[in-house]
């Protein structure tokens, strides 16, 4: 009997993954990861997700334990607080200091869930590891999850083919509604639990207040780039991303102003009127830290520059230094340094990299 260790998060997706694997005859073991110290800086205080003074992380563990007990599998617990800090959170802070918009979930998958977790699973005798991600594996290639609205290959794009060798994604063939139904049919405590949001493992919280524990705010001017007039004051460039409208706090100004750029040297946040403003668009981008899962990148493919974004037709050019120049003559809105650019060939996720620079008409945009 093959042994599989499932990453039990306390959510419905990993819960159903475990029960599906057990029903298929695997020897299933649950493993819960603790990746953040909820007592840091009084994080627990004022957190809206607290339930009866139990921090969300402990509640997740309790839910995972209840699920494992219900389906008759053991649950182990492992502490990756230091590893998460060193490999994910430090990266997150460093990117914010540069004025970029990082995606820590991608690095969490690369370094924590599919590296340190996988090594811990091996110690438990695992033949496979499994997670509740909406993705699929076929012939050594990673495919999008069947549920297009839940597909998570974007967040798995930095994984290597080696990391994906013995990985199972049990819910990748299902719609989210089917996952909920299975959980209800098996009376799992997580059946109606809402999906987690916020930063991976850190969870929901007042983001700006949370960041002040690590990066002090540096207020500066908000300038309308089209009129060169000051329209407000920002609380720190790290709190804003290209294309953002909400949270600008421009007082009585009810115009639809959107973030179109950042001047890091002069601590200025630039905005422009309208969500279709020309200042929001670019036609090419330089991608660094490129990871190609199967060492394939066609000249013509599609790409996502944000998770919820539709696929965009792009032309790729592999450079001598390993970076990739991505061109999109049709122009795309709000392509943002620090975010991931993920490549696809129909259903296959080819991999991706991090957006370093953005251009329009061969001119580097001054986002940073």
Same domain, 40 and 14: yes
Does any domain span residue 147? Answer: yes
Q: Same structural domain for residues 265 and 282?
A: no
Catalytic residue among 55, 108, 301, 341: 108
Give, for all 368 residues of the chain, the pLDDT tens digit: 999 999 999 999 999 999 999 999 999 999 999 988 766 654 444 444 444 556 777 889 999 999 999 999 999 999 999 999 999 999 999 999 999 999 999 999 999 999 999 999 999 999 999 999 999 999 999 999 999 999 999 999 999 999 999 999 999 999 999 999 999 999 999 999 988 765 665 655 566 778 888 888 899 999 999 999 999 999 999 999 999 988 787 765 557 899 999 999 999 999 999 889 999 999 999 999 999 999 999 999 999 999 989 999 999 999 999 999 999 999 999 999 999 999 999 999 999 999 999 999 999 886 55
Residue 200 lies in a domain: no
Please indicate, yes or no, whether residues 118 and 256 belong to a single structural domain of this protein.
no
Beta strand spans in the chain (E) = 3-7, 27-34, 75-79, 128-130, 135-138, 141-144, 167-168, 220-224, 229-234, 257-263, 268-273, 281-292, 300-304, 312-318, 324-333, 340-345, 348-360, 363-364
Q: What is the dihedral of CA 121, 126, 128, 129, to 10 degrees?
A: -20
Domains in the chain, number? 3
Same domain as 118, residue 43: yes
The CATH number linked to 88 is 3.40.50.620
Identify whether 170 is part of a domain. yes
Same domain? For 39 and 178 the reply is yes
How far apart are alpha carbons 280 and 368 in whole angstroms? Answer: 14
CA-to-CA distance for 116 and 97, rounded, in angstroms?
Answer: 27
- Is 200 assigned a catalytic role? yes
Quick one: 180 and 255 in the same domain?
no
Instruction: Give the residue from 134, 166, 185 where a domain finishes.
Output: 185
349 is catalytic: no
Any domain includes 191? no
Phi-psi sector, 98: left (phi>0), alpha (psi -120 to 50), beta: alpha
| 103 and 149 inside one domain | yes
DSSP string across 236-269: -GGG--TT--TT---TT--S-EEEEEEETTTTEE
Q: Is residue 192 part of a domain?
A: no
Please indicate, yes or no, whether residues 57 and 130 belong to a single structural domain of this protein: yes
Domain check: are 228 and 306 in the same one? Answer: no
Residues 175 and 58 reside in one and the same domain: yes
Domain of 269, in residue numbers: 217-273
Instruction: Look at residues 248, 273, 298 and tell me which one is the last residue of a structural domain.
Output: 273
Residue 50 DSSP class: -
Question: Do 231 and 89 fall within a single domain?
Answer: no
Catalytic residue among 55, 68, 200, 341: 200
pTM exceeds cut of 0.85: yes
């Amino acid at each position: 009997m093959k042994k599989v260790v499932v990453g039990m998060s306390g959510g419905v997706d990993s819960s159903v993954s475990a029960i599906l694997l057990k029903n298929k005859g695997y020897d299933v073991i649950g493993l819960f990861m603790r990746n953040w110290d909820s007592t840091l800086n009084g994080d627990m205080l004022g957190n809206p997700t607290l339930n009866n003074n139990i921090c969300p992380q402990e509640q997740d563990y309790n839910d995972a334990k209840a699920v494992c007990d219900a389906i008759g599998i053991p649950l182990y617990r492992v502490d990756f607080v230091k590893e998460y800090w060193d490999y994910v959170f430090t990266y997150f802070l460093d990117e914010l200091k540069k004025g970029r918009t990082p995606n820590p979930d991608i690095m969490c998958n690369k370094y924590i869930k599919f590296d340190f977790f996988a090594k811990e699973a091996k110690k438990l005798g695992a033949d496979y590891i499994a997670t509740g991600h909406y993705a699929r594996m076929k012939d050594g290639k990673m495919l999008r999850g069947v549920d297009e609205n839940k597909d998570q290959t974007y967040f798995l794009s930095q994984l290597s083919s080696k990391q994906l060798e013995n990985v199972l994604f049990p819910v990748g063939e299902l719609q989210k509604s089917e996952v909920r139904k299975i959980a209800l049919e098996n009376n799992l405590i997580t059946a109606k639990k809402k999906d987690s949001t916020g930063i991976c493992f850190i969870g929901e919280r007042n983001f700006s207040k949370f960041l002040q524990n690590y990066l002090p705010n540096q207020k500066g001017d908000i300038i309308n780039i089209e009129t060169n007039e000051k329209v407000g004051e920002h609380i720190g460039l790290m709190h804003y991303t290209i294309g953002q409208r909400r949270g600008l706090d421009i007082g009585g100004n009810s115009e639809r102003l959107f973030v179109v750029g950042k001047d890091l040297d002069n601590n200025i946040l630039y905005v422009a009127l309208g969500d279709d403003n020309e200042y929001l668009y670019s036609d090419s981008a330089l991608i660094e830290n490129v990871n190609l899962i199967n060492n394939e990148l066609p000249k013509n493919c599609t790409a996502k520059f944000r998770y919820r974004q539709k696929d965009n037709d792009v032309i790729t050019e592999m450079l001598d230094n390993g970076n990739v120049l991505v061109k999109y003559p049709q122009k795309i809105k709000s392509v943002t340094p620090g975010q991931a650019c993920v490549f696809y060939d129909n259903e296959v996720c080819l991999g991706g990299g991090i957006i370093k620079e953005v251009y329009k008409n061969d001119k580097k945009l001054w986002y940073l």
